[in-house]
Structure formats: C-alpha cells, structure tokens
Amino acid sequence: MSFAICSVYRNDQIQELGRSGKQAVTWYLENQIQETVRGMAQSVRPNDEIVKFDSGLPDYMKSMITNDLKENFAKSYLELKKDSNFQYYIKDLKSGKEYGDKRLRDMSQEELRTSSLLYGLIEYDKEGNPKIFGDFDDLDFQTQSLTQYLHYFDVTQEKGNIVTYQVNDEKFTQSQVVIQNPRQMKIMFRIPEKVVKDQGVIARTVYDWTNYTQFSVIAALIGTLLLILYLLFYPISIVEEVNPFLTFKK
C-alpha cells in the first residue's frame, strides 16, 4: 500500500483539475496576469500614460510612483514571457503592429477554450474600456487605484471607501492616483492543456495544486482505513470496562 501511495503522490502528470482546481489556479495567478497584461501593453507602447495623477501631488512622488508601477508590470510580464507554459499575442489596434505568438491570432475562441488549461482574451477600445473573454473574465481589468499594486505604501487612514496612503511625509488618497487602462489594444494569452513541469510560476502553481489535492485524497483514505480498523479491532475488554452493562447477561 505504501508503494502505491508514493507512486500516486509522486506522479508527474497533471490530473484533471476540475472546476474547483481551475478556479484555484486562476485565483493564484490573478495578480500576475493583471500586471502582465499591463506589462504587455507597456512593452508595445512605452510612452503611454499609465497613471493619472491629481494636480496636488509633487512631481517627485509622481515620478516615483510611475517608475515603481512600470517596474512591477515589467517584472510580472518578463516572468511569464520566459515561462514555457505561457503563450501570448498582442496587437496594437492603433498601428496594426503584432507581437508574440501569431498562431493565437488565428485561433477561434472555441479553439482557445478547448485546447487550453486556462486562457484569456481582452480587447480595449479607444477609451480603454475592455471586453474580456475566457477563464479570467471575472477579473477586474477596469481602471484601478493603487491598492492592488503598491503594497509597500503605509495605509494611515480608512474611512468607508476612502483610503489614505503615506510616502515619506506626503499623504494622498487612492482617488488621486489612478492607473490607466491600455487603449486600442488586443491581448490574448493561454496556458496549454498539457503543462510542462519546470521551474516556471505556472508549473509550480498547477503542480502544487495537483499534489495538494492528491495528498488530501490519500490522507482521507488512510484516515478512513484507520478508523475502520480501529472499529473492527477495538478490544471488547475496554468496552466492558467503560460500559459493563453492554455485556451484562440476565
């Protein structure tokens, strides 16, 4: 039995994730995907404004926030760009230029869905409003505040929906610094159905979930087996000692 348990736990093949598994992996990758999408847009049009500032903020703070955002977006994008389990395609709808894997361009949404473990398709219009399809269609790709991205800021005060941040001696609210969506851009990405086991963030996330579920099933089976054995071989002498009336004969 121990050999069978080890062989199941060490299995390198991805088991069927199921609905809950896909939701879990999507949740784990949520921030990475959102930042990667913005990193993709930034790589295509690096001069586009990515943050809209309130006029009351000093220039040095605007520069610091912008640079940190760009660094975060670029880091997430480059990490997935190097990942063998991540494929992407970008089209600048303004210039017509294309980037990434052009095979995705020719795939229908149905093909993407059936051949991918997870996939996403986002198309931004002239105003930056997105149309979102795929497994990440419930994520918030709308214009966002700093809350999700600049985690190192000290939150000094919260009143209802108003959050105040502090950097050095400067304070500002999240409404004073708003991240801008890309405009006139189409972005597609997918994780292939067969995930290659490597050291990339996608493989680690998927295999960690697979191993966790396999281990949970094995632990539950072992626990059930031990309980059955315990009930079958529980010493009758202990039963008599605890409750002698169970064996009392008239």
- CA gap 153, 215 in Å, rounded: 38
Are the beta carbons of 122 and 186 closer than 8 angstroms?
yes
Angstrom distances, CA of residue 155 to CA of 12, 67, 78, 160, 170: 43, 20, 29, 13, 12
Q: State the average pLDDT for the chain.
A: 76
The H or E element spanning position 241 is helix 236-242
Query: Which two structure tokens, joined as six digits, stand for 71?
Result: 């660094």
**pLDDT < 70 positions in the chain:** 1-21, 23-24, 138-160, 199, 208-250
* Per-residue confidence (pLDDT) for residue 47, from 0 to 100: 93
* Per-residue confidence (pLDDT) for residue 69, from 0 to 100: 87
- CA gap 181, 124 in Å, rounded: 8
* Per-residue confidence (pLDDT) for residue 215, from 0 to 100: 40
